[in-house]
């Protein structure tokens, strides 16, 4: 009987997930005694009855590095420590099924697990590791907010999509002498916003790390738009907020969804600008999930493949409790407990902030 490693993808999907899976399977197939098993929708595949597990061989992963999404599905709800259950009164609660999951993995002869996911998934990895599971984490998110790694895969693709949107908005804004506000993802980090604003040449970029003042933005509008002539592009991160304000978010009523759903920062800013006397036409574009859909770019395919190969090599070395990370020029393993202790957000003296200021970009302060 072959030794078995389980692969799971958790959290929001992200371009490059399939390339990681393929990297794991291709590396494992070079070892005669190992077999890779995929769990459907994160660990749900293990927890459901009957289990939803699929053996992943080279044939199954052939060519998938080019495809977006994940062939084994994902979820950002529930998980082994908070499995949703309906209470007698009809409300939803949760139960800890982690011990049961470990037993099921043992029963399936699963020796090790590779958990591909963001901060939430890696916190689950650490808790499972502390319970004795042989686990390796792989950092995934378009937001690039995971600590320890120079980049997460999926981020560069999201930046490219957002930059393409800025490029397209420039031509229509210029033609109509309009202001466009482009809202991009990123949760509490402004990486996608700042990268795409610099790449696309936006005049204003508002990120969660720097609360904005409407007066400062109005000043820039007055400089750029004179007698109704001129245009302006503002890139705003979904987690951006005015000085003294908060994020725009709604609590989702989806069962097991533990996060706030961010969205609406651009519309709020439009209203703030109008209230401050802005006379130009202001239009809002929300890029949303277009940033996570579709094919990964070449950079993300390569990074994700490197992560997949390294994760399998760490399994072979029994180097557990670690997350794969990119530390230029190397792919390394770092203790999961260290990387989940903090977030990767943009610092006030970050080189990218300096560059943005250096080209005269208004950051809202
Ligand atoms: O973390 C990735 C991300 O796409 C964020 O940028 C965004 O806030 C969030 O996930 C949205 O998640 P979903 O719509 O899948 O709940």
pLDDT at 363: 98
List, by residue number, the catalytic residues.
143
* Distance in angstroms (rounded) separating the CA atoms of residues 115 and 137: 5
Q: SS3 of 170, please?
A: helix
Q: What pLDDT is recorded for position 268? A: 98
What CATH number is given for 3-153+296-328 in this structure? 3.40.50.450
Phi-psi region of 170 (alpha: psi -120 to 50; beta: other; left: phi over 0): alpha
Within the chain, which residue ranges are assigned CATH 3.40.50.460? 157-293+347-358
CATH architecture of the domain with range 157-293+347-358: 3-Layer(aba) Sandwich (3.40)
Closest-CA residue to 352 (of 79, 112, 159, 134): 159
Element (H, E) at 3: strand 3-9
The sign one gets for the Cα dihedral 300, 142, 13, 284 is negative
Contacts of 5 (CB under 8 A, 6+ apart): 24, 28, 34, 35, 36, 37, 110, 111, 112, 113, 114, 312, 315
* 12 CA from centroid of ligand 1 (Å): 6
> What pLDDT score does 309 carry?
98
- Tell me, using a 6 A CB cutoff, whether residue 75 lines ligand 1: no
**pLDDT the model gives residue 260:** 85
pLDDT in the model for residue 233? 98
- Which pLDDT score is estimated for 231? 97
187 CB near ligand 1 (under 6 Å): yes
Q: State whether the beta carbon of 186 lies less than 6 angstroms from ligand 1.
A: yes
Per-residue pLDDT tens listing for the chain (365 residues) = 899 999 999 999 999 999 999 999 999 999 999 999 999 999 999 999 999 999 999 999 999 999 999 999 999 888 999 999 999 999 999 999 999 999 999 999 999 999 999 999 999 999 999 999 999 999 999 999 999 999 999 999 999 999 999 999 999 999 999 999 999 999 999 999 999 999 999 999 999 999 999 999 999 999 999 888 999 999 999 999 999 999 999 877 777 777 789 999 999 999 999 999 999 999 999 999 999 999 999 999 999 999 999 999 999 999 999 999 999 999 999 999 999 999 999 999 999 999 999 999 999 99
Report the nearest atom of ligand 1 relative to the CA of 257.
Answer: 16
- In the prediction, which pLDDT does 248 show? 96
- CATH 3.40.50.450 in the chain is located at 3-153+296-328
């Amino acid at each position: 009987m072959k030794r078995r490693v389980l692969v799971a993808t958790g959290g929001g999907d992200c371009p490059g997930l399939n390339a990681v899976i393929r990297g794991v399977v291709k590396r494992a197939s070079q070892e005669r005694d190992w077999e890779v098993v995929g769990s459907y929708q994160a660990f749900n595949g293990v927890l459901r009855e009957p289990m939803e597990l699929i053996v992943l061989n080279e044939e199954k992963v052939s060519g998938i590095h080019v495809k977006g999404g994940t062939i084994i599905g994902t979820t950002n709800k529930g998980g082994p420590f908070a499995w949703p259950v309906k209470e007698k009164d009809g409300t939803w609660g949760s139960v800890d099924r982690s011990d049961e999951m470990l037993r099921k993995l043992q029963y399936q002869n699963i020796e090790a697990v590779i958990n591909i996911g963001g901060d939430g998934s890696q916190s689950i990895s650490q808790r499972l590791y502390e319970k004795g599971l042989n686990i390796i984490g792989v950092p995934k998110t378009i937001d690039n907010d995971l600590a320890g790694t120079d980049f997460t895969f999926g981020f560069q693709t999201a930046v490219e999509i957002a930059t393409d949107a800025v490029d397209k908005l420039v031509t229509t804004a210029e033609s109509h002498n309009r202001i466009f506000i482009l809202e991009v993802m990123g949760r509490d980090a402004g990486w996608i916003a700042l990268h795409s604003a610099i790449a696309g040449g936006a005049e204003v970029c508002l990120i969660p790390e720097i609360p904005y003042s409407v007066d400062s933005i109005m000043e820039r509008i007055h400089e750029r738009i004179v007698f109704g002539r001129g245009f302006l592009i503002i890139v705003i991160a979904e987690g951006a907020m005015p000085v003294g304000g908060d994020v725009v978010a709604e609590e989702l009523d989806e069962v097991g969804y533990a996060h706030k759903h961010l969205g609406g920062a651009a519309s709020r800013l439009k209203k703030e600008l109008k209230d401050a006397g802005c006379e130009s036409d202001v239009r809002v574009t929300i890029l949303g999930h277009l940033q996570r859909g579709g094919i990964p770019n070449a950079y993300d395919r390569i990074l994700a493949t490197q992560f997949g190969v390294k994760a399998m090599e760490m399994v072979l070395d029994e180097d557990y409790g670690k997350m794969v990370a990119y530390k230029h020029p190397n792919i390394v393993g770092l203790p999961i407990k260290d990387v989940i202790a903090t977030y990767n957000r943009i610092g006030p003296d970050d080189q990218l902030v300096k560059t943005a200021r250096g080209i005269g970009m208004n950051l809202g302060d």
